[in-house]
Chains A and B, each alone.
Chain A
Amino acid sequence: MSTHALRRPGRSAVKTRHTDGSVGLWVFIGVATSLFSLFILAYGMRMTGADWASIALPWQLWLSTALLVAGSVALQAAASAARGDRWDRARRWLLVGGAAASAFLGVQLWAWQVLQAAQVLPSGNPSASFFYLLTAMHGLHVMGGLLGWSLTAHGAWPLAEPARAAQRIRLCARYWHFLLAVWLVLFATFAGLTPTVVAWVCGPLGITR
């Protein structure tokens, strides 16, 4: 720590580039990353079982992916607009981002319905159990994001503290990007991780069940 940094005024000597909210969100992203990484590791370890049978993924997942991408782009646009003090535009994109995330949840539920109609049940094959579990966990994180989003929207109508509102939109955008990244990894895992791949990785290491 340079002595220059120590002399900075403010409520904290070390506060330089990041706000508390930003640091808190990074830490939370770390926690959620740990959570999903462990889920995926468990998925990989479990799939080497003899009873594993991959499930056919419903096409709705492509739609939900598109919605999440749209949400992420919209919130990024909202963040840029807010930074440039173009608040009408920022609000519009903020709404689009929230709506896209809500629609994402709806489409995920639709995908669940399709699977259930095909008798792919949470208590059935382990790959189905994992699919329901991981999409539910991701969905819960999206719902948490929507809670944060509604607080952000509350701060943007009416605009009492523009700097604060812009910062919140920026954090929302970052969280939406994270939710998208997690979903892409999950989707890739569902679609691409097979027992053969796991055996290819774990075999040389001598890891067996």
Chain B
Amino acid sequence: MSKIKGAVVIDQERCKGCNLCVVACPTDSLSLSAEVNHRGYNYCVDSQPDTCVGCTSCAIVCPDACISVYRIKTDD
């Protein structure tokens, strides 16, 4: 059976660390980094990329459109 796997690409310099994507993620793949970007925000990172299912919830809720989600089909 084929399975969808996602990859989240985050524009970390544009991210304002609002945390909405972290809350929206159903698989807890995202989190905020301990480091800050050049604007001083704790940007979003894909801390558990293996769990991502490519649902695009993070990209839909991101107010600054910093998130792109790519999806691939894998055969397990």
Q: Indicate, yes or no, whether A interacts with B.
A: no
